[in-house]
Structure 1
Amino acid sequence: MENKNIFADEIIVGKNTIIEPSAKIRGINGNAKRIFIGDNCYIGENVQIICDDFSIGDYSKIQHDTNVHGYLPCHIGHNAWIGQYCIIDSIGGTTIGNNCGIGAHSQIWSHIKYGDTLEGCRFLTEKPMVIGNDVWFVGHCIVSPIVAQDKSMAMVGSVITKDMAFNEIYAGSPAKSISDKIGFQFLEVSTETKFQKMNEYLKEWNPNSKSIKIVSDKNEIDFENKLVSYFNVSDRTYTKRLSDEEIGFMKFLLPAKGKFTPL
């Protein structure tokens, strides 16, 4: 595959990934060192990725006019949704886990730098941005260098200046947890319920499928059977075969029915 809009010493682009011709991917000063884009991804129009070490996992989408930049690595997991007109800064280094959503017009900053320190400005920071799994910035969020723990969430228009706790929901400027008022992003769901619901999804998508099987335990997977994609609801993983049915089912599940990552 020829990549006319990616400039890097090492380029890995997965199967069925679409990169719009107007997107530009390169390093800070010329070629990037390494660009990795997973399977079944979409990089939209006028997206700019200016980073020497950038990776994004399977089934991820970066919508139009988003800018990703920085001197340090920017690594994004599977099933990411990054809306239009977002900024993701990696000057201090940025790590975003699996199944994360960054709504349109949001800004993720890993540095604070402009004021004249010689003149006494107190604000100069380059700090890693660490975003866990299943984190959701709903939209128009501005995020300073923080740690966002798994399943945390920020409502639209939030300005986040402090770390976000596990499964807490935040709102406001500066953002504060409102989970004591409205609850949490995720509720506990039993494995049995997940198993039943996934089988209902599979029946809805294709009741005659022979190459997709839902399991509730890793021990139920036949790893030697390359003709079947196993979806394990207990740990949200699947045996990646890249069959047409597997890809179709994954696209049916995303973005909101269910998210699975390769085993």
Structure 2
Amino acid sequence: MRGPSCADAVVLFVARRPGGEPKFDEAPDKVLPGNAPIALEITPVASVPALARAGDGTAMTKALPAALGAWLRAQAMPQKLTNRAALIAAGPTTGDCSVSDTLPWTAAGRGYHIDAFSDGTDCINAATALVIRAPDGRPLYSAATPGFIVEIYHSALRTRADMKKALAGIETMTEDTTGKLPEWPDGLAEREITQGDFTTTVAESFDRTSWNALREAQRPMLAVDPGIESVSLVVLMPDGRVVEVGRSRQN
């Protein structure tokens, strides 16, 4: 759990399997040491009833096993691992790739900030997370990503220094606004807008009029939650919410 107070904390749930995740340029069935994350979720403590009722750090620590158990039961875990015996025999890693950084969200204005952190014994198998916070510390948006996906966007993710550099790379995007979104042209029926080398899939909550109005409003925007093929575009709305407005992928 992380946060400026218990009320504004977030909790990162991670389920891991035996065996490490190969790097993106290695054979996918390569057997490596480590414990690769197979399910991740980061959520405000306030949205987990057992933790929200706890009230303080000591009580939250006691309530955490039950909350984790409930979360695990809700996950769709793989029924059978290929090379399970070999993966177990590979063993865990014993290093440390746990780092953190706090960055100002420049475009959003004074006090808005981004907490980025990782947790794991090695960087490829670490769990990484990002939390956007309001000036009063409230979590407005959070996302978690396995380290091996972070490496796709930041090569040579081997040491804590590499991970810290990757997390700090978010700062290069903190001045972006929705003015960078592609215009939804007249006559385009589908929700995919291609501009240059990128295609943006518009969230269902927008139509052409509201999308182009958002673009013209130049609201603060971040590209977060990287997937293997796309990233989420999240925006600080006038009512103070941070919402995903679409996903962008390279063609």
TM range (shorter): under 0.3
Give 1 or 2: higher strand fraction: 1
Give 1 or 2: higher helix fraction: 2
